[in-house]
Amino acid sequence: MGHFMSVCSLFLSLISGSAVPISTKSNNEKPPVLGNTSSAAGESHIDRLGIDDKGSKTLDCDDAKAYSLEEGTIPDTHSVNIVRDGTVLHTIKLFTERDVPGFAFDGAKKARRGFEISIEYGTRIFYHKTFVFLCRQHKFYLSKIRVESFDKRNPEKWSRKVVNVQPNVRLEKFSVRDFMAEVFSKN
């Protein structure tokens, strides 16, 4: 029970570290085992992480066939580009393992009404987060975050929650750093 409380208190720090009010749902199914696809090499780009809306172009997300999701191509970095007709409309910058211990980018995929980006990180307390963006009124909004966590010293003690982001965050205002309070609340 003590490890579960540790995970809960870390999750509460996520809530208190975010400027976005959220609500949660929980269930106790065992999460799938996730592979680590991170790269430990490369220059730290933590200073460049944030909201990259300087190069953003108008994105009408209503037609899912009109855009694609592509992993960034800059070596030793992680990012997701939203592309239409060969033009990058928006870039979501992520971390590397050098920036955040155990960080891995698990991929991005289109969903029925938007797209999802999955990451994982942690040393002792492990987190897997899937950010769910929905298209509404011709724009993408972060709607919810699926969070799975467990203590690597006691992997039977795990937690799975769905965090509903209220109010939803526009894609142009989204920064993954804002939703990783477990890591950045100490800094």
Tens of pLDDT, residue by residue over 114-139, are 999 999 999 889 999 999 999 998 89
Task: State yes or no: pLDDT of 140 exceeds 70.
Answer: yes
Q: What is the pLDDT of residue 10?
A: 40
Rounded to whole angstroms, the maximal C-alpha distance in the chain is: 52
Task: State yes or no: pLDDT of 141 exceeds 50.
Answer: yes
Tokens of 111: 């969903």
Highest mean pLDDT among 25-29, 139-143, 151-155: 139-143
130-169 burial: b if 16+ Cβ within 10 Å, else e? bbbbbbeeebbbbbbbbbbbbbeeeeebbbbbbbebeebb
Task: State yes or no: pLDDT of 18 exceeds 90.
Answer: no
Mean pLDDT for the chain? 74
Tokens of 139: 């724009």
Q: Which domain holds residue 114?
A: 2-184
Burial environment of residue 4 by CB neighbours within 10 A (0 to 12, 13 to 18, 19 or more):
middle
Q: What is the pLDDT of residue 184?
A: 65
List C-alpha distances in Å: 90 to 106, 134, 174, 178.
Answer: 19, 15, 11, 18
Encode pLDDT of 53-79 as tens digits.
444 455 678 888 889 999 998 888 899
Please count the structural domains in the chain. Answer: 1
Write down the pTM of the prediction: 0.68
What sign does the CA torsion over 114, 87, 57, 184 have? Answer: positive
Highest mean pLDDT among 67-71, 151-155, 178-182: 67-71
Task: State yes or no: pLDDT of 13 exceeds 90.
Answer: no
Q: What is the pLDDT of residue 19?
A: 36
Q: What is the pLDDT of residue 163?
A: 94
Q: What is the pLDDT of residue 63?
A: 83
Q: Which residues contact 107 (CB under 8 A, 6 or more apart)?
A: 37, 71, 117, 118
Lowest mean pLDDT among 9-23, 57-71, 113-127, 151-165: 9-23
The average pLDDT across 94-99 equals 91
